[in-house]
Chain A
Amino acid sequence: MTAPMRETNFTRTVLKLVEPPIFKWRAVTLTVLFLLTAFFAWNAAQLRPNAGWLKMVPKEHPYMQTFMQYYKDFGGANTVLISLHNNKGTIYQPEFMETLRKASDDAFFIPGVDRARVTSIFSPSILYVEVVEGGLSGENVIPSTYTPSPEMMQRIKRNVAKASVIGRLVSQDQTTALIQLELLENDPTAGTTASLSDSAKPMSERMREAWERGALAGEVAPEKPTLSDRIKAVSTLSMKGSKPEPGLDYVKVGEKLEEIRAKYESKDITVSIVGFAKVVDDMTKASMEVASFFVIALILTGLLLWAYIGSFRLAMLVVATSLVACTWELGLLNLVGYGLDPFAMLVPFLIMSVSVSHGVQYANSWANEVATRNVTPYQASLATFRSLAIPGVVALLTNVAGFSTIYLINIQVIREMSVNAAFGMAGVIIVNKVLLPALLSYMRLPNIPKFREAQELRERMGDAVFKKMAVLTHRGPATVVLVICAALSIFGASQYHKVQIGDTTDGVPELRPDSRFNQDARAIAQNFTMGVDHLKVVVESFDDGCVDYSVASEVDNFNWYMKNQPGVRDVLSLYDLAKFAHAGLSEGRLDAEVLPHQQQALAQITALVPTTTGMLNNTCSAIALFIFTTDHKAETITHLTDAVKAYSDKFQVDKRIKFRLASGNIGVMAATNEEVRRNELPVVAWVYAVIILFLWLSFRTVSGVLCVILPLGMVTLLGYALMVAMGIGQKVATLPVLAFACGVGVDYGIYSYSVIAAGLRNGMSLEEAYYQKMRSTGKATLFTGLGLATGVALWIFSDLQFQKDMGILLVFGFTTNMIGAIVVLPALAHFLSKEELKHAGKDLTAGANDALSEDHK
């Protein structure tokens, strides 16, 4: 290996620059890194779970603009339903009614609840009107003289029927009653829509805005902010802590809801609770469980590493440094003001995985040098650094670039994940390219002869298999492999159009179908026409437009049109209540449940519906139409939004009205799905473009690019087929996974190909180069792929459905990418790699061998 080589000047220069701090001044570097790690660890400890409703929505989407505009008038989509079921019969039993009353009262004291919109049969806004011989009669469903007496029960029973609340607040069989709440994202005493959207912004953005305006959001900005204004604004913002307005504490809400459940549930009464707040609480609890997965994965990886490297000390070093990378990630996250979102639990796993994967390559190579060439740890580390630093950093930068592309999706939780992953990758680069090399240069293997023996034994065991696998570089087997791959890719591509956007299950997608929450949701869905799943359409007209007959009748037609769409359980608007009021004023006759032509009559009956119902705004220029749906499957949602648009285009007569999409949880999902659909292909395209660019930069050969990218592409296409087969939809939770899997997959390819190319350039045959690759990085690739897959495989047991989905996709991505790198890559190389011979003699390892003769002073 002492043959003179032409050096690649550029890489040499780079290495000359970065080597001294890592190796020469390693003591200083290690001290600095230790202090930084301590700082980040302290920051990471401050990290709080943070799931915000607004974070999961695409705020720029037109639907969400409608949502924000009318948030104050019509509320959002943050509904909680508490149902009380009497196991002893109808609700008209004094004990049950008392429980319902107490539970309704307790609901008022849930943090963040919009007290104007707590609705049950006990609410004063639920009333009925009827005409009796002597004039008008009407009262609240629960009379003001309420006492839990049997006579009162009969009276309430009659009122319930008259007030048209069956199916809404009382179940069809009258054994279940509902309490409906709406939560405000912020403390209602302080919350305005402005501060609401402001607190949803990441801290970095708020910092920037505070700096630019010289004032905090909500304050009047000085015309020309002075430097001191700016500093004051930014410092006030940061003094308030990273979460100046913490938003609604969903865990607290969840606890309060569980308290209500615990208090009132008995053998006679079943309490069911559904709503986003409950989901978040359940999710946060379940993500604690994921933390235990993390520990299990860590131990498993440690054990595997130990078995693989044959040195406990070395294995622990890799695990420990990877933990340092995670610490950096979490610390940085807290530093910029983010919290840990349940969705982002993926990222620490990923960082751990990537870090271990790179750490193994490094430690393996280092151990090889020490064991086989009898050099000092310092020399071994330097040699390893020279051969792996460049491909390693390139691979990591490719990862960073790949993860960054998901930032394109304008949904904050995804953007946070992107930033989060980028922080993590920064940690991984520092850890694997600075910390680990420096530490290894101090590292002494306790028993080198024994280690060497074990190493040789393992190598021989692998050798037989790898020799056989080298046949993959021959024309025949290579052709077979490629034909199979092409067939698989075509199959995957053919499945692509079947991939659902959004959710494919009918329960709450975050939780498993058999979770208590989803059982509750089904129970409520069976008994009530209104459920949590609803699309709100805002009908815009003009001031007092709602008392214009033409407007009213157009809305009524639209209502009927939507009611007849598949997937719709019921439609409710101001006019449904108004019709009811009209019938009440018309002697209760059913054929008077219509909208009267006369404006006065229309004004009279609509006025009986208070604005606090969230059905109309103060000027009566906008009304909200609630479309309750049977589920929130993507196809149901798409069908409904299409139906709304189709009505405007084909059926609408009064063009003074605008039917605006959308609010309600289905409206938000529609916007999210559309955003995901719009970005899904661009994200994949960007990921690939970025990866291709980096591959070109590192190899400068078409062969290098194709040998790595083609197996990756096949995995992506097969991923679609897997999603179809497993019923996993493209959604906020799964979209980043494909990008992440690509990122990790490209690692394998880069490591594998760089060793093969280096071999070829040194004059080896492809078969020999492949064999050598398998013995060095290939073996590590194999190990990492299995290790990572085992780690995320645990996710399949998560209580969170989206983590299960992510787990399945990641296991698939990690293993198939690994197979791609060791099976498909050599087959491709057979046909493509002749190009590498043009660069014969160029040293891709940047003088690693010279390091063996260097010594540190």
Chain B
Amino acid sequence: MKRAALALAAAMLAGNAAAQEAAPPAAPSVGPRAALMAPKAAQARMLDITTAGSSAVAVGEQGVILRSTDGKTWTQSPSPVNSMLTRVRFTDAKNGWVLGYSGSILQTVDGGATWKLRHYNAEQHAMYDILFLDAQHGFAVGGFGNVLETRDGGATWAESAPALADQRLHLNAIIKLADGSILIAGEHGLLAHSTDAGASWKALSSPYIGSFFGAAPQGDKGALVYGMRGNVFEASDIAACPAEDVAKWDPDKQVTADSSEKIAALGWKKIQNPSNESLFGVMQLKSSRVFFGINGTVLQQQNNEGALAPVKTSAVETLVHAVTFNNRVIAVGRQGIQDLGRLP
């Protein structure tokens, strides 16, 4: 569908076809450019936020990496790339990873003060998520089916999961479920599951053909997935869901399950949502979880069950994620870092 959209749009712009004929002087070839140390970095588009020890770390466009110990003042850490950074994950208070465009993978060992570039390829698309199964073995997934794997703690990365990569779909999230299996959520309703630490992948029969932007483990073997146009689904046992070899899975043959019976037959349950805005992130609180999405959408689900209910906040523009920090909800999105205060 995305490709169809591109083709359609490309047809609308025949006028720019001449672009290829002209012979402009060759562009200078450049490697990664370090991020500008920017006084207004906190107003950049911010794509992810997490906590590491006693500080919060957020990443965003223009290679911005920000740290704060109070949630109010943010200090920029120098970044070796100025590409848009899409994901920040810490395995403990000191060790963390940042992903970004041009296949960027950055590592810190000092809680986010300094970062080293571990993987970069100007021609590559964005990396969207990272998961370490143990200190040495990890996966990073990204746009157009990009799957990278490391077995040396992130020092080197190699392409992995060729069958999954061949689907050329955006892989938006990679999570470990409570039972130790791995779930990847992606474009076109793709849900890939591996029970053997990423050696082989199965594609689930998806209840939805729009994109999933995120996933979270639920229960001892279940998962929650959410994405385009406010679609949120949960499954209590991923391993029990009907699935086939990812190489045989054909995205164009998928259809959205249009009744709760059909969805249940696939092992899923649709969570009622009054809004149809796309959702990009979820934050687990003690007794509820909160979803964030387009146009400042904030939705809350009490006790992790039942329908979602809108929450009024000061946010107007797209939010993608949030953390609770010093008892306040610090969200990131289109307008940078926003303090949403205490949620009800």
Chain A contacts to B: CB under 8 angstroms: 131-136, 158, 161-162, 166, 172, 174, 541-545, 547-551, 557, 560-561, 563-564, 566, 585-591, 593-594, 597, 599-601, 603-604, 606-608, 620, 651, 653-656
Contact across chains for A654 and B27 when beta carbons are under 8 A apart = yes
For the complex, what is the distance from the CA of A566 to the CA of B25, rounded to whole Å?
A: 35
Known interface pairs A560-B62, A589-B280; A653-B33 also in contact (CB < 8 Å): yes
Interface range on chain B: under 10, 10 to 19, 20 to 34, or 35 or more? 35 or more
* Residues in A whose Cβ lies below 8 Å from that of B280: 589-590
Q: Is B333 an interface residue (CB 8 A)?
A: yes
* Residues in B whose Cβ lies below 8 Å from that of A654: 27-28
Contact across chains for B1 and A600 when beta carbons are under 8 A apart = no
Closest CB-CB distance, A321 to chain B, in whole Å? 63
Closest CB-CB distance, A623 to chain B, in whole Å? 14
Q: Which residue of B lies closest to A550 (CB)?
A: B27
A-B contact pairs, 6 of them (CB 8 A): A544-B22, A560-B36, A564-B40, A566-B39, A589-B280, A593-B84
Instruction: Tell which of A162, A597, A604 touches B13, judged by Cβ atoms closer than 8 Å.
Output: A604
Q: Which residue of B lies closest to A556 (CB)?
A: B62
Known interface pairs A591-B128, A655-B28; A161-B316 also in contact (CB < 8 Å): yes
For the complex, what is the distance from the CA of A653 to the CA of B33, rounded to whole Å?
A: 10
Contact across chains for A607 and B25 when beta carbons are under 8 A apart = no
Contact across chains for A653 and B295 when beta carbons are under 8 A apart = no
Question: Looking at the complex, which of B154-162, B196-204, B208-216, B232-240 is the stretch in contact with chain A?
Answer: B208-216
* Residues in A whose Cβ lies below 8 Å from that of B12: 604, 607
Q: Which residue of A lies closest to B11 (CB)?
A: A604
Q: Which residue of A lies closest to B8 (CB)?
A: A136
Instruction: Tell which of B9, B27, B33, B84 touches A594, judged by Cβ atoms closer than 8 Å.
Output: B84
Instruction: Tell which of A136, A548, A563, A589 touches B24, judged by Cβ atoms closer than 8 Å.
Output: A548
Instruction: Tell which of B9, B13, B62 touches A136, judged by Cβ atoms closer than 8 Å.
Output: B9
Instruction: Find residues 8-52 in chain B having any chain A CB closer than 8 Å to their own CB.
Output: 8-10, 12-13, 15-16, 18-20, 22, 24-25, 27-28, 30, 33, 36, 38-41, 43-45, 47
Contact across chains for A544 and B19 when beta carbons are under 8 A apart = yes
Contact across chains for B36 and A604 when beta carbons are under 8 A apart = no
User: Which of B24, B28, B38 is most buried by chain A, counting CB atoms within 10 A of its CB?
Assistant: B24
Contact across chains for A607 and B8 when beta carbons are under 8 A apart = no
* Residues in B whose Cβ lies below 8 Å from that of A158: 295
Q: Is B118 an interface residue (CB 8 A)?
A: no
Contact across chains for A132 and B24 when beta carbons are under 8 A apart = no
Contact across chains for B27 and A656 when beta carbons are under 8 A apart = yes
Q: Which residue of B lies closest to A605 (CB)?
A: B9
Q: Which residue of B lies closest to A134 (CB)?
A: B1
Known interface pairs A135-B8, A585-B6, A604-B10; A591-B25 also in contact (CB < 8 Å): no
Closest CB-CB distance, B79 to chain A, in whole Å? 13
Closest CB-CB distance, B124 to chain A, in whole Å? 9
Known interface pairs A131-B1, A564-B36, A600-B10; A544-B24 also in contact (CB < 8 Å): yes
Q: Is B296 an interface residue (CB 8 A)?
A: yes
Contact across chains for A603 and B19 when beta carbons are under 8 A apart = yes
Known interface pairs A543-B22, A585-B5; A653-B318 also in contact (CB < 8 Å): no
* Residues in A whose Cβ lies below 8 Å from that of B41: 564
Closest CB-CB distance, A852 to chain B, in whole Å? 80
Contact across chains for A557 and B33 when beta carbons are under 8 A apart = yes
Q: Is B294 an interface residue (CB 8 A)?
A: yes
Closest CB-CB distance, B329 to chain A, in whole Å? 18
For the complex, what is the distance from the CA of A766 to the CA of B20, rounded to whole Å?
A: 88
* Residues in A whose Cβ lies below 8 Å from that of B43: 563
Known interface pairs A158-B295, A564-B40, A603-B13; A550-B28 also in contact (CB < 8 Å): yes
Contact across chains for A162 and B294 when beta carbons are under 8 A apart = yes
Please name 17 further chain A to chain B contacts, defined as beta carbons within 8 Å, in addition to the given A557-B82, A653-B30, sorted by A numbering.
A133-B229, A135-B8, A136-B9, A161-B316, A166-B317, A545-B24, A547-B19, A548-B24, A560-B62, A563-B40, A586-B2, A593-B84, A597-B122, A604-B9, A604-B10, A604-B13, A654-B27
Contact across chains for B25 and A549 when beta carbons are under 8 A apart = no
Contact across chains for A133 and B228 when beta carbons are under 8 A apart = yes
For the complex, what is the distance from the CA of A229 to the CA of B74, rounded to whole Å?
A: 73
* Residues in A whose Cβ lies below 8 Å from that of B91: none
Closest CB-CB distance, A82 to chain B, in whole Å? 23
Closest CB-CB distance, B100 to chain A, in whole Å? 9
For the complex, what is the distance from the CA of A603 to the CA of B318, rounded to whole Å?
A: 25
For the complex, what is the distance from the CA of A601 to the CA of B3, rounded to whole Å?
A: 11
* Residues in A whose Cβ lies below 8 Å from that of B16: 544, 547, 603-604, 606-607, 620
Q: Which residue of A lies closest to B2 (CB)?
A: A131
Q: Is B288 an interface residue (CB 8 A)?
A: no
Q: Is B140 an interface residue (CB 8 A)?
A: no
* Residues in B whose Cβ lies below 8 Å from that of A131: 1-2, 5
For the complex, what is the distance from the CA of A166 to the CA of B294, rounded to whole Å?
A: 14
Known interface pairs A161-B317, A564-B39, A591-B47; A604-B296 also in contact (CB < 8 Å): no
* Residues in B whose Cβ lies below 8 Å from that of A543: 22, 24
Instruction: Tell which of A136, A166, A545, A549 touches B316, judged by Cβ atoms closer than 8 Å.
Output: A166
* Residues in A whose Cβ lies below 8 Å from that of B36: 557, 560-561, 564, 651
Contact across chains for A594 and B101 when beta carbons are under 8 A apart = yes
Instruction: Tell which of A161, A563, A597 touches B296, judged by Cβ atoms closer than 8 Å.
Output: A161
Instruction: Tell which of A134, A544, A593 touches B61, judged by Cβ atoms closer than 8 Å.
Output: A593
Q: Which residue of B lies closest to A161 (CB)?
A: B295
For the complex, what is the distance from the CA of A203 to the CA of B210, rounded to whole Å?
A: 68
Closest CB-CB distance, A844 to chain B, in whole Å? 67
Known interface pairs A166-B316, A557-B82, A653-B30; A136-B5 also in contact (CB < 8 Å): yes
Closest CB-CB distance, A8 to chain B, in whole Å? 71
Instruction: Tell which of B1, B25, B47 touches A135, judged by Cβ atoms closer than 8 Å.
Output: B1
- Per-position binary interface string of chain B over residues 308-340, scored 1 when its CB falls under 8 Å from any chain A CB and 0 otherwise: 000000001110100000000000011000000
Closest CB-CB distance, B45 to chain A, in whole Å? 6
For the complex, what is the distance from the CA of A168 to the CA of B117, rounded to whole Å?
A: 37
Contact across chains for B33 and A590 when beta carbons are under 8 A apart = no
Known interface pairs A564-B36, A564-B40, A591-B128; A548-B27 also in contact (CB < 8 Å): yes
Q: Is B123 an interface residue (CB 8 A)?
A: yes
* Residues in A whose Cβ lies below 8 Å from that of B278: 587-589
Instruction: Find residues 230-257 in chain B having any chain A CB closer than 8 Å to their own CB.
Output: 256
For the complex, what is the distance from the CA of A162 to the CA of B5, rounded to whole Å?
A: 18
Contact across chains for B13 and A607 when beta carbons are under 8 A apart = yes
Contact across chains for B209 and A599 when beta carbons are under 8 A apart = no
* Residues in A whose Cβ lies below 8 Å from that of B300: none
* Residues in B whose Cβ lies below 8 Å from that of A587: 2, 187, 210-211, 228, 278
Q: Which residue of A lies closest to B278 (CB)?
A: A588
Closest CB-CB distance, B78 to chain A, in whole Å? 15
* Residues in A whose Cβ lies below 8 Å from that of B135: none
- Per-position binary interface string of chain B over residues 123-160, scored 1 when its CB falls under 8 Å from any chain A CB and 0 otherwise: 10010100000000000000000000000000000000
Contact across chains for B211 and A590 when beta carbons are under 8 A apart = no
Q: Which residue of A lies closest to B102 (CB)?
A: A597
Q: Which residue of A lies closest to B62 (CB)?
A: A560
Closest CB-CB distance, B47 to chain A, in whole Å? 5
Contact across chains for B318 and A132 when beta carbons are under 8 A apart = no
Known interface pairs A133-B228, A550-B28; A594-B61 also in contact (CB < 8 Å): yes
Instruction: Tell which of B209, B316, B333 touches A590, judged by Cβ atoms closer than 8 Å.
Output: B333
Contact across chains for B295 and A591 when beta carbons are under 8 A apart = no
Q: Is B107 an interface residue (CB 8 A)?
A: no
* Residues in B whose Cβ lies below 8 Å from that of A134: 1
* Residues in B whose Cβ lies below 8 Å from that of A135: 1, 4-5, 8
For the complex, what is the distance from the CA of A597 to the CA of B229, rounded to whole Å?
A: 27
Contact across chains for B316 and A174 when beta carbons are under 8 A apart = yes
Q: Which residue of B lies closest to A581 (CB)?
A: B9
Contact across chains for A564 and B38 when beta carbons are under 8 A apart = yes
* Residues in B whose Cβ lies below 8 Å from that of A601: 6
For the complex, what is the distance from the CA of A134 to the CA of B1, rounded to whole Å?
A: 8
For the complex, what is the distance from the CA of A566 to the CA of B61, rounded to whole Å?
A: 20
Contact across chains for B25 and A542 when beta carbons are under 8 A apart = yes
Closest CB-CB distance, A374 to chain B, in whole Å? 82
For the complex, what is the distance from the CA of A600 to the CA of B33, rounded to whole Å?
A: 24
Q: Is B86 an interface residue (CB 8 A)?
A: yes
User: Which of A166, A542, A587 is most buried by chain B, counting CB atoms within 10 A of its CB?
Assistant: A587
Closest CB-CB distance, B113 to chain A, in whole Å? 21
